[in-house]
Amino acid sequence: MRRNPPRLPAILAACLLGASAVPVATAANDAQRPNVLFIAIDDLRNHLGAFGVEWAKTPNLDAFAQTSRAFTHHYVTVPTCGAARYGLLSGRRPTHRAHLNNGGVMHNAEEWVHRSLPGIFQAGGYRTYALGKISHHPGGLTGGDWDRPPEEMPGVWDRHWIPDGPWEHARSIMHGYANGVPRRPGRSPAIEAHDGPDESYPDAWVAKDAVAKLEILADSDEPWFFGVGFFKPHLPFAAPKRDFDTHEGNVPDLEPEIAARRDWPSGWHNSGEFRRNYGHPGGRDPETHPEYARELREAYTATVTYMDRQLGRVFEALEETGLADDTIVVVWSDHGFLLGEHAIWGKHCLYEHSLRCPLMIRYPGMTAPGEMSDAIVKTIDILPTLADLAGLPVPDEVHGSSLRPQLDDPAAPSGRPALGYWGGQRTIRDTRWRLIVHRDGDQVELFDYDTDPYEIHNHAEAHPAVVEELRELLESTHGF
C-alpha cells in the first residue's frame, strides 16, 4: 500500500503561499472551519434536467441544484481532461504550451503544486484526500499504467487513491468496461450495456469508497478537503442495461443544420478520441448512419443517469453522517462533449458544448439557494472562491476571481469574459458573443447566442466592430 505523503511544516507552508499567508489553523478554531466535498465529473455537458434537458434523468443533480447556486454559463479554459484540471487546481489560464494537454498538471509541478487548490487547504490546516479522477491521472500516479510513481501532484494530498475494484490498474479503470475488462484501443466498442448491477462499472466503486470515507470523516476533529472524481459519462459509453432501457427512444435527434459541418473554415475535427480509440460495428459512422448517432446520444445519456445514481449515494451519506451543515459542496465537470453538433463527437474544440459544463456550489448559510446564476464564470474562479469561503489566502499568481458576488446574489452580473484555447485557436465568450480566432489570426468565427444558440451561422462579416472589440480584449489577456 502506498504511503501518504508527509504534511508540510506550518512555517514552510506559509512561505510557499507567500507573504499574505495566514498561520495554519489551530485545534481551537478547526471546528468552525467548513469542510469541502469536491465532486468532479468527467465529460459532462449541461445535460441535466435542472438545465432544461427534459429527457435527461438526473434526479440527484437536479435536487442538488435546488439547494445550491447552479451556474448556467460556466466555462473551462482548455477542453481536454488534464489541461482543464490544471486550470481547476492552479486557478490559472495556460502560461506554457504544456498546459494545453493532458500533461499540464505535471508540468513544473514542484514550482506551483503547494499553491494549488489542495496545497492551500493543506497549508491552512486541512486534511486533503482525493478519490478517483481529480487531477488527470486517477489515483495520482503517472508511471506505467498510472499505477506507480512519480506522483502527478507530489506532497499535497494526504491520500489519493482509486477503489480496489476488479480493474487491474488506474488506466483500465479510467476506460473501464464491465467487471474489470480493460479497453483495447481501436477495437473495444464505444457503447456497452451490461445486464448487471451498478457494481459492474467503476463509478459504483468510487461511490462506495466515498461513502466509507465520509463515515470516517464524520468523527474527525480536523477540517478536510475531499475530492471525489467520477468517470462517467467519459467514453466508453458503458453503463448498466437498465439505464439504456430508460432512455431508449427518448433522446431526440439533432436537427440536420445543427449536426452539419460548417461551410466556412471552422474548428471541425475528425473526433479522433472517438474514432481511433473505439471500434464501430460494421464500420458505422454517426455522420452517415443516423441510427448509430441516435444510439450514441442515448448511450451518453444512459451513462449520465448511471453516474447520477452513484452521486446520490454520496449526497445521502453526507446527510446521514451529519456533515452536510458544515460542508461546502462543489459539483464540477472538466468540460463538455459534443454529441454530433458541428459533426463532432467529442470535445477538443472551442464551441459552446465543448467549453460549457456544470458548476454548482453550496455552502453553509448561503442566501437564495436554488436560484441559478447566468453570469459568465470560469473554472479558474473555483480556487479563489473556495479559499474565500474557507478564509484562506489566495496565491498572487491566480488569474481567477472569487464568485462570492454571485453566491451572495444570483443576479450579480458577470465579471470578466471567459477565455479558451485549443489547437492554436483562441476564443473569448461574453454574455452574448463568442469570437474564435484561428491559428493564422485572419480566419475568425463569431457566434451570436441571442439569435443563433446552436452556432449555425458565422456572424463575423455582419459585425466587424464586435469582432474588433473582442479581438482586442482577447489579445490584452492572452494566456501564453
Enzyme catalytic residues: 81, 136
Which among 133, 143, 125 is positioned nearest to 88, based on CA atoms?
A: 133
CB 420 within 8 A of CB 426: yes
**Rg for the chain, CA atoms, rounded:** 21
Strand partners, 425: 422
Grid cell, residue 155, equals 506532497
**Maximal CA-CA distance, the chain:** 65
* Full 3-state SS string of the chain: CCCCCCCCCHHHHHHHHCCCCCCCCCHHHHCCCCEEEEEEECCCCCCCHHHCCCCCCCHHHHHHHCCCEEEEEEECCCCCHHHHHHHHHHCCCCCCHHHHCCCCCCCCHHHHHHHCHHHHHHHCCCEEEEEECCCCCCCCEEECCCCEEEECCCCCCCEEECCCCCCCCHHHHHCCCHHHCCCCCCCCECEEEECCCHHHCHHHHHHHHHHHHHHHHCCCCCCEEEEEEECCCCCCEEEEHHHHHHHCCCCCCCCHHHHCCCCCCCCCCCCHHHHHHCECHHHCCCCCCHHHHHHHHHHHHHHHHHHHHHHHHHHHHHHHCCCHHHEEEEEEECCCCEECHHHCEECCCCCHHHHECCEEEECCCCCCCCCCEEEEEEHHHHHHHHHHHHCCCCCCCCCCCCCHHHHHCCCCCCCCCEEEEECCEEEEECCCEEEEECCCCCCEEEEECCCCCCCCCCCCCCCHHHHHHHHHHHHHCCCC
